[in-house]
């Protein structure tokens, strides 16, 4: 496969809309770059799919973003980061182009968590796939062996967001249920990571039912900080990212549906193009 060699946009991939919270956080800090966002909305959600399927879908998306000129792709999806990132980095990049990079969003959060928790008890809310992979627990304990990690899967939280029910009374039940479940696992938790990029849209409900004094960590700003530090350490990668301040959106789903839902995350109108993967 022949890939473009000229500089191009930063690619951001997600199974759906949640990665828009990552894109927003990155653009707040690094607005000068061009971005290409790809949502595989037609095949979302990824959270309950097998490792093999998530890897295959994610690889297809990464290859498409490479073909469209990206030298750096960020998996703005915790499930893809948990189930596909390492295989793509180790097996596919050497074959496709060893000079390109694919980064995830779990490690930046794991790196910073040691500075955020005071009593070393951390909770994770995430999809079933991310919790089962134990990616957060492994990354956090690799960097901070003294931190105790407890995780709870929240299967209904993504649909609440995707179907614009995040502010509904029904959301209260599902949010409170999982918070209570997590705190039963470890009543000493002082910091909770929102390990799915949809979950920040449930923040008002999460704060409503989380005891005061517990810190809620949303990933966007930490991923943005990590990207800026990555560029500082790898100027040759940064030089391959164009700077025009533009964003282009791609979806495998109906573009009109994407436009409508994207405004929930970005609070601005977007233009989007339909593509197919696979």
Give the active site residues.
Answer: 77, 196
Cβ proximity of 154 and 177 under 8 Å:
no
CA angle in degrees (0–180, nearest 5) for 78-232-250: 40
From the list 264, 269, 267, the residue with the least C-alpha distance to 249 is 269
| Cα–Cα distance measured from residue 36 to residue 194, given in angstroms and rounded to the nearest whole number | 24
Using only C-alpha atoms, the chain has a radius of gyration, in whole angstroms, of 18
Please, is 32 exposed, middle or buried when counting C-beta atoms within 10 Å of its C-beta (0-12, 13-18, 19+)?
exposed
- The answer to whether the CB of 62 falls within 8 A of the CB of 228 is no
Distance from C-alpha of 40 to C-alpha of 141, rounded to nearest angstrom: 31
Token duo for residue 138: 């492994």
């Amino acid at each position: 496969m022949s890939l473009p060699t000229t500089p191009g946009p930063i690619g951001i991939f997600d199974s759906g809309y949640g990665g828009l919270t990552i894109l927003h956080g990155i653009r707040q800090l690094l607005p000068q770059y061009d971005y290409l966002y790809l949502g595989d909305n037609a095949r979302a959600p990824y959270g309950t799919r097998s490792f093999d399927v998530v890897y295959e879908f994610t690889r297809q998306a990464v290859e498409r973003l490479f073909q469209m000129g990206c030298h750096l792709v960020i998996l703005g999806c915790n499930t893809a980061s948990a189930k596909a990132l390492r295989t793509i980095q180790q097996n596919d990049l050497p074959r496709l182009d060893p000079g390109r990079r694919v980064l995830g969003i779990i490690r930046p959060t794991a790196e910073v968590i040691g500075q955020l928790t005071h009593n070393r008890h951390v909770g994770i809310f995430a999809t079933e796939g991310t919790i089962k992979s134990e990616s957060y627990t492994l990354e956090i304990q690799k960097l901070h062996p003294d931190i105790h990690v407890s995780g709870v899967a929240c299967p209904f939280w993504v649909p609440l967001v995707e179907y614009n029910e995040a502010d509904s009374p029904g959301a209260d039940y599902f949010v409170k249920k999982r918070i209570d479940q997590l705190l039963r696992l470890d009543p000493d938790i002082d910091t909770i990571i929102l390990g799915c990029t949809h979950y920040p849209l449930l923040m008002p409900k999460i704060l409503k039912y989380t005891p005061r004094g517990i810190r809620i960590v949303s990933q966007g700003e930490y991923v943005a900080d990590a990207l800026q530090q990555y560029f500082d350490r790898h100027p040759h990668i940064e030089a391959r990212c164009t700077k025009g301040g533009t964003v282009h959106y791609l979806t495998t789903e109906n573009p009109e549906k994407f436009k409508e839902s994207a405004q929930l995350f970005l609070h601005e109108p977007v233009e989007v193009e339909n593509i197919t993967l696979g």
